[in-house]
A = this chain, B = another copy of it.
Amino acid sequence: MPKRIRDKQAPDASDRLRAAGLRPTRQRLELAGLLFGMGDRHLTAEGLHAEARAAGCKVSLATVYNTLHQFTGAGLLRQVMVDASRSHFDTNTGSHQHFYCEDEGRLIDIPGEAVAVSGVPKPPQGMAVDRVDVVIRLRRA
């Protein structure tokens, strides 16, 4: 089994963090493992903190908040505004939209470019569109 040299591998978690200008600390690596190790996820800060503690990872709530904001700033996460009382973070940073179950507080991805928004007027002078967010609020049928 020949070992290939200079093989371009998927950068590991440490390298991803370093590329974002963040030191690969134990806490960040463990949180990144929970966030990115199991497909697309939607989490709150307290949810991630509880999950980390349950996984035996010693990390404070302040670090969870710090990390979520740092990852968001680095483009590894996106923040979704659906609920007045809790921030939701999305590991899927691609362009997509959401169903939101009000009663469960649960976000569900609507994949890819499924949703199209048309008829948006020109923004006011001096303003440019940053992002178009679509939230489809659901209730029990």
- Residues on A lying within 8 angstroms of B by beta carbon are 79, 81-84, 87, 99, 101-102, 108, 110, 113-121, 123-124, 126-141
Contacts and interface: CB of A to CB of B under 8 A. Distances in A.
B133 A134 contact: yes
A110 B116 contact: no
B140 A127 contact: yes
9 contacts: A84-B87, A114-B121, A115-B119, A115-B120, A116-B118, A117-B134, A128-B139, A132-B135, A133-B133
Contacts of A99: 123-124, 127
Contact of A128 (B113, B115, B119, B141): B141
Contacts of A139: 127-128, 130
Nearest to A87: B84
As for how many copies of this chain the complex holds, the number is 2
A133 B137 CA distance: 8
A117 B116 contact: yes
A66 B64 CA distance: 34
A141 B84 CA distance: 28
A113 B118 CA distance: 11
A137 B121 CA distance: 13
A138 B134 contact: no
A128 B133 contact: no
A115 B117 CA distance: 7
Q: Which 9 A-B residue pairs are closest in the complex by CB-CB distance? A: A128-B141, A127-B138, A130-B137, A130-B139, A133-B135, A114-B119, A131-B137, A115-B119, A116-B118
